[in-house]
Structure 1
């Protein structure tokens, strides 16, 4: 058994748990604010997650006080030796506990059991998380590669206003293609500046994009070339999302950010016809899809042959909520 430290706000927890379950964990269950348990994990998948800080092998669950955490550790059996560091968190300051006291007390238990303390480069890290009335104690096994800030949309060689944040783009890729990663082919039929494709490529997927505007296809090509290694497998072409130049079942997943607003014509299509056509094409080429939009397209997705496994409304700013549709070919 493992436990996960979820990232984001309280409103992101269901979203974070599903991303983890799709891409790196099994039987994820929220147990307290910012914390969830998982029956199993894919260790190499945890670093690629967006909304999970890290995963730990669960030693025990108890009440959210230092004495109870000490009792759990004293009663635990484990086959480990070497140096250790204790890291304690009070998740969102929801527990009445001192993390410094917890680290000191638990560190003393480990020293008594033969460990040496090394706060800089330990062989093992004991993670202790307090949230409301719950405490989870575990040995850290993997943590997120938190480099999203280094890929801010405004820092890209090609930038357009409204570009999606890398952390969100990574989460949507994981939701769409998680079960097939890292050996997945991911298609974005409205790729824009290529943010979703960059994140797909960074998790090892074959990233394939189309855009109806030549400027966008060219810009996405520039961005992918900038962020992905020379041996990465990616392709961008100009194309219509309602008539993709790919064979049936050519991809493992489709993920796209539909146009926002009430534009009357987009690339020669009414917005409703564009999204409906893109959903039909997505169902033709892949068994899984994530559609991000400024409104619900659930009815159109079902008409196009998709089952809606989950839908999230996520606040971007005061005037924009993103509707995230997690779709499975019906």
Structure 2
């Protein structure tokens, strides 16, 4: 049986949160359909959703609410929605989130829904409620229900690159790393390859999800240092060349590759174009049929990716600073 859910998406990126949510729905449910979309809110119908697995994996979705009632974003609409809620006779608290240009603020929504529940005979308890009602309000609609999944935002903060045992400037933040691992749609116990592993940020996030990670880097010192970041995780690192992978054909379920930018690429590979072509050919060889690859570069290399035999499913741009914008290609 399908249930309706509202995903409260992060505002940290304009396109990746929605794509990550859809990838996770593919992984964590028996099937889904998008019902509606608004700024920072995705409403879907999904069957057999593994809620704990979803919450454990997600990075750029703040929370997921199982929708029990929905209405127009107006005082009258909220009152009607609150009247229709089928709740047990327990104490409650209402928490609301205004998304985008919604016409009602969070405090207003909490008061309106709380008042309607109080009039129905429910008793509020703001400190230790037995039930917490979540309300997500957008410009197009209001959604009331129960929170069923929440991202571990504190965990991402604790894993910021400079707090890890081994650090190198320019490392991608763990929340984005986790989102890209999810976009690769690799499941638990499957293998994820990072052919430019650096300080192993992708592998850390993959390992925490129960994915078997494998990373390569051409610099022995980087590999030795990065092993300390992977302690306790089912991940392996080796010194190696992304254009000559020591792996069997069709042996890897997914890959995330953040190609090196600048002088290191020129020194190690002769030219960046040479490195691009060689790494793409090898990734095409070692990935299973229909396996996903996330390729990150600071150049628009989509045509080269297609020439290497991949289908580009999505592209995203992530501005790092004035002189660097990452181009993110989701490929199959």
TM-score of the pair, normalised by structure 2: 0.88
Cα-to-partner distance string for 1:124-151 (whole Å, 9 max, x where unaligned): 3221122224222222111111121111
- Alignment check: 8 A CA contact 2:265 2:275 kept: no
Task: Indicate the residue corresponding to 1:188 in structure 2.
Answer: 194
- The structure-2 alpha-carbon separation of the partners of 1:290 and 1:214, relative to structure 1 and needing over 3 Å to count, comes to same
Unmatched runs of 5 consecutive residues or more in structure 1: none
1:68: Cα distance to partner?
1.0
Report whether the alignment pairs 1:4 with 2:4.
Answer: no
In structure 1, distance between residues paired with 2:127 and 2:251? 47
- Alignment check: 8 A CA contact 2:78 2:112 kept: no
Task: Indicate the residue corresponding to 1:207 in structure 2.
Answer: 213
Task: Indicate the residue corresponding to 2:171 in structure 1.
Answer: 163
Task: Indicate the residue corresponding to 1:99 in structure 2.
Answer: 106
- The structure-2 alpha-carbon separation of the partners of 1:108 and 1:217, relative to structure 1 and needing over 3 Å to count, comes to same
In structure 2, distance between residues paired with 1:133 and 1:236? 48
Unmatched runs of 5 consecutive residues or more in structure 2: 27-31
Report whether the alignment pairs 1:315 with 2:319.
Answer: yes
Structure 1 residue matching 2:268: 3-state secondary structure? coil
Task: Indicate the residue corresponding to 2:241 in structure 1.
Answer: 240
1:120: Cα distance to partner?
4.1
Structure 1 stretches of at least 4 aligned residues deviating more than 4 Å after TM superposition: 111-116
1:269: Cα distance to partner?
3.4
- The structure-2 alpha-carbon separation of the partners of 1:161 and 1:315, relative to structure 1 and needing over 3 Å to count, comes to same
- Alignment check: 8 A CA contact 1:158 1:222 kept: yes
Between stretches 264-273 and 196-205, larger displacement belongs to 264-273
Report whether the alignment pairs 1:132 with 2:139.
Answer: yes
Structure 1 residue matching 2:252: 3-state secondary structure? coil
Task: Indicate the residue corresponding to 1:23 in structure 2.
Answer: 24
Cα-to-partner distance string for 1:184-218 (whole Å, 9 max, x where unaligned): 21110110011111111111211111111101111
Match of 2:124 among 117, 123, 139: 117
Task: Indicate the residue corresponding to 2:29 in structure 1.
Answer: none
Cα-to-partner distance string for 1:223-252 (whole Å, 9 max, x where unaligned): 111xxxx3x311111111111111122221
TM-score of the pair, normalised by structure 1: 0.89
In structure 2, distance between residues paired with 1:300 and 1:45? 34
In structure 2, distance between residues paired with 1:66 and 1:272? 59
- Alignment check: 8 A CA contact 1:31 1:37 kept: yes
- The structure-2 alpha-carbon separation of the partners of 1:108 and 1:57, relative to structure 1 and needing over 3 Å to count, comes to same
- The structure-2 alpha-carbon separation of the partners of 1:56 and 1:241, relative to structure 1 and needing over 3 Å to count, comes to same
RMSD: 2.1
Give aligned pairs, total.
317
In structure 2, distance between residues paired with 1:221 and 1:30? 44
